[in-house]
A and B are shown apart, each in its own frame.
Chain A
Amino acid sequence: MLKQELIEKNPIRHLKGESDAKESSRMGLVMARAGVGKTALLVQIALDSLLNDKQVVHVSVGQSLDKTKLWYDDMFKDIAEFCNLENAGEIHDSIMHNRMIITFNESKFSRAKLEERLHDLVQQNVIKPSCMVVDGFDFAKTDRAVLEGMRDLATTMDLQIWFSAVCNEEADCQCASGIPAPCKGMEDLFNTVVLLQPVSQSDCIDLKILKGTAAVSKCGKLLKLDTKSFMIRENCK
């Protein structure tokens, strides 16, 4: 498989925001219970941007640099294997130049600091990201203002930002009535919200689109993803 085909197979292609939102400055949210694969999907989203020769900043709160880097290496390997990607090594080396990881301690993270860091990067001409993923952001401890600030950041820097959030066990049954806690009442800030749910006795993960529409109508609001590579599976519809 070639790089181009790989891009087309990425689940992110199916996650279009609401029609009026600009593609480049939207905010997305990935929700799941602990251990289902939020980070994996975020890395997947980042990899998609990277494969499109765009630059990505990965903000990791509470995880070490090495671990985050491993996520990328592993995900890329899994995806490359899943899709039989040709000259994977070369593509890997070329796209990783466009990725930048910033790690923060849980207690040290703040929007102002992040913004300062980003401006630094752009000014020094190190990177000009068009996508940012924020992993480990604690929604339970943040208020709307911080997220609104992030939204402004997305607009001013022309950046799409994806967050991950942990929801509790009951989230599964709540999702019919809207966005589960801890992000309840913040859905208007996001263009896309998805929920990951493991499917018992299966090698798939359900990706439910809670907000935003799927680009391909036949998929409806539910996508099936491979548990390892997080690519769309065709054989388990």
Chain B
Amino acid sequence: MKDLSKVRNIGISAHIDSGKTTLTERILFYTQRIHAIHEVRGKDGVGAKMDSMELERERGITICSAATYCDWKDHSINIIDTPGHVDFTIEVERALRVLDGAVLILCSVGGVQSQSITVNRQMTRYRVPRVAFINKCDRTGANPDKVIKQLREKLGLNAVPIQVPMGLEGDMQGLIDLVKMKAVYFDGENGDKLRVEEIPAQYKDECDAKREELLDAVSMFSDELMEAVLEGTPTEEMIMAAIRKGTLSLEFSPVMMGSAYKNKGVQLLLDAVNDYLPCPTDVDNFALDLDHDEAEVKVTNQPTDPLLALAFKLEDGRYGQLTYVRTYQGTLKKGDSIVNVRTGKKAKVGRLVRMHSDEMEEIEESGSGDIVALFGIDCASGDTFTRGDYNFSMSSMHVPEPVISLSITPVDNKAQDNMSKALNRFTKEDPTFKTYVDQETLETIISGMGELHLDVYVERMKREYKAEVTVGAPQVAYRETITQRADFNYTHKKQTGGSGQFGRVAGYIEPLEEGEYEFVDQIVGGSIPREYIPSCDKGFQKCLEKGSLVGAHVTGVRCAINDGASHAVDSSDIAFQLAAMGGFKEAYMKAKPVIMEPIMKVAVEGPTEFQGSIMGSLNQRRGMIIGTNEEDAYTVIEAEVPLSEMFGYSTDLRSLTQGKAEFTMEFATYRPVPKSVAEELISKAQKKDKK
């Protein structure tokens, strides 16, 4: 069995285009997993190894996080390559869940951009220790010091460099390791020959100063080092131990630099992953005990304990469904029978493989803390596997609600079949991607986290499933809610032919501060018989599906019943459901309903000279500008803008700023729409009803 202290499960996470995939590619090369280097947008047409999907190659972005395994200096490293675009944050979050540590990649020119802030926040949420790597130090305008300052200011990290670059931009020669106080050069065609030398005289002073700064910062984490520093005799081991301690406690982030493209600094980064990032036993992971009200239980990480494994990603491969799992304790062996805790279904582990992007390597067993893939197991992502002796689930992951939807129509019958296959697969793979059939228009609706998110799935349908679909205009997921309390007293009566229906329900509805819906039963004296109370609940819930204003989902309502009447013969389940529905409709308009729309937090980054026009453009889109932040020639404008106004913004922004500005957005909250817009929406909904 492998020594767990030599296992690293790391993620590589960063802003789009900061060179994450290139870096992963280099890591795989130096660890001898691949034997040639292909660029992301390379001319050889092969593309980088990690971008296994055709579409990703075409767009130059990484969508699915492929898990890859490699060895570096007697440590095993599992790398999860995570997407950089904010629309795919569920992928990032899911990857973070199973990671023990992460490398945060930053561009030495762009620095900390809004996406990095999002990713950083997610890492803090899952308590992922991280080291930072400032990439692209070969680019014109590279300024690692500025980036480090931003790491401190914008991300609130205690970021301290442990390296000093020898030269920047075009004449970058190598790096100086501040722990060992040695200069490192990267020789050979692919930078694979390391040459360690004394520090050149011209960098001596700078290095001494930076080392002092580093010692100051890390001696906080080790008394031993503190004493040694005071006596002037700190050893390499002491410093490394202190850096590791600080990193694991999330109170310190070592900063490295280099250029993956120019093959500089990648090996040192791998050393740092081994030296400073945690192994599975360093991190506390918790499972939820389903028998005891989801109480948190710490997992043991012992290979001898009962099995606990989490399926965090599904992929539809050439040979059927591939399930990526991380084992948290116990051992997963080929031929084992395992139980899916959610469904209670048993399954047999037929093949166990270690993934290397889309090639794989068969293995016999996987110890705790490892990341492997299983074949032919039917499950959804987020499911937990045990051997049936445990009723534990790995904690449920934070899944955001979809904010945008569009209708898709297959072009022919064949496409229809393929489309449903594809949708079935996508919904299993990605919890933020949902699909349903609109009962009125009979159209298939897909919903997700953003325009690009849905775009990618439509493309994948075409390519992977040969399902040609026509796409409708994107629709924003509006919601309705009530703003005040209203009473109802409704009698449902039907006595025409056959058995009659009778039910009277009285009560009130009121706004609910937190949560979507609550049902309160305040019936005393049995004015509504016990057996019909759930019918009322059911009736209310049916009403919530479609509000009377624009037919949007109604949320934030507490429905209470306090009186009613029944008939010995004519009362039935359906009669009370209808009575409750009638009651709800009666009270709904009195309760001053409002339409809510998703508001996105938008951050636009661009040259200062365009600040005015960018703000103007946000203002036009009903945006509420929160503020601006100036730094050097760039300005960041933050605003909250309704999602419905953001369609096509990327095109507008490009033409407005000669392509020099970029923006990111993420869902912030739901907020009532202004009156004029509400009226428009209502009249549109009414017109649609009449059709």
Query: CB within 8 Å of B: which residues of A?
Result: 58, 64-65, 68-69, 93, 96-97, 100-105, 108, 113, 117, 120-121, 123-127
Contact = CB atoms under 8 A, between A and B. Distances in A.
Interface in B476-512: none
A123 B154 contact: no
A53 B264 CA distance: 57
Given A101-B628, A117-B628, 17 more contacts: A64-B629, A65-B627, A65-B629, A69-B626, A69-B627, A100-B626, A102-B627, A102-B630, A103-B627, A103-B629, A108-B631, A121-B612, A123-B612, A124-B612, A124-B616, A124-B619, A125-B619
B630 A103 contact: yes
Interface in B90-125: none
B611 interface: yes
> Which of B615, B627, B671 counts the most chain A CB atoms within 10 A?
B627
Given A69-B626, A93-B671, A97-B624, A126 B631 contact: no
17 contacts: A65-B627, A93-B671, A96-B624, A100-B625, A100-B628, A101-B627, A102-B628, A104-B630, A108-B630, A108-B631, A120-B611, A121-B612, A123-B612, A124-B612, A124-B613, A124-B619, A126-B616
Nearest to A59: B627
A68 B616 contact: no
B633 to A, nearest CB: 11
A103 B625 CA distance: 13
A121 B615 contact: yes
A121 B627 CA distance: 11
A188 to B, nearest CB: 31
> Which of B154, B624, B625, B629 counts the most chain A CB atoms within 10 A?
B629
Contact of A65 (B612, B619, B624, B626): B626
A127 B639 CA distance: 14
Contacts of B626: 65, 69, 100-101
> Which of A65, A97, A102, A127 counts the most chain B CB atoms within 10 A?
A65
Contacts of A68: 627
Main secondary structure of the interface of B (DSSP, over half): strand
Given A64-B153, A64-B154, A124-B619, A100 B627 contact: yes
Q: Which 9 A-B pairs have the closest CB atoms?
A: A101-B627, A120-B612, A124-B616, A103-B629, A65-B627, A124-B612, A126-B615, A97-B624, A65-B629
A64 B631 CA distance: 12
A155 B94 CA distance: 55
Nearest to A97: B624
Contacts of B619: 124-126
A68 B671 CA distance: 21
A96 B672 CA distance: 14
Contacts of A101: 626-628
Contacts of A64: 153-154, 629
Nearest to B613: A124
B592 to A, nearest CB: 12
Interface string B629-653: 1111000101000000000000000
A89 to B, nearest CB: 10
A123 B638 CA distance: 19
Nearest to A60: B627
A234 to B, nearest CB: 30
A97 B630 CA distance: 21
A67 B616 CA distance: 24
Interface string B306-341: 000000000000000000000000000000000000
A159 B611 CA distance: 22
A19 B31 CA distance: 78
A149 B153 CA distance: 30
Nearest to B154: A64
Interface string B58-73: 0000000000000000
Contacts of A93: 671-672
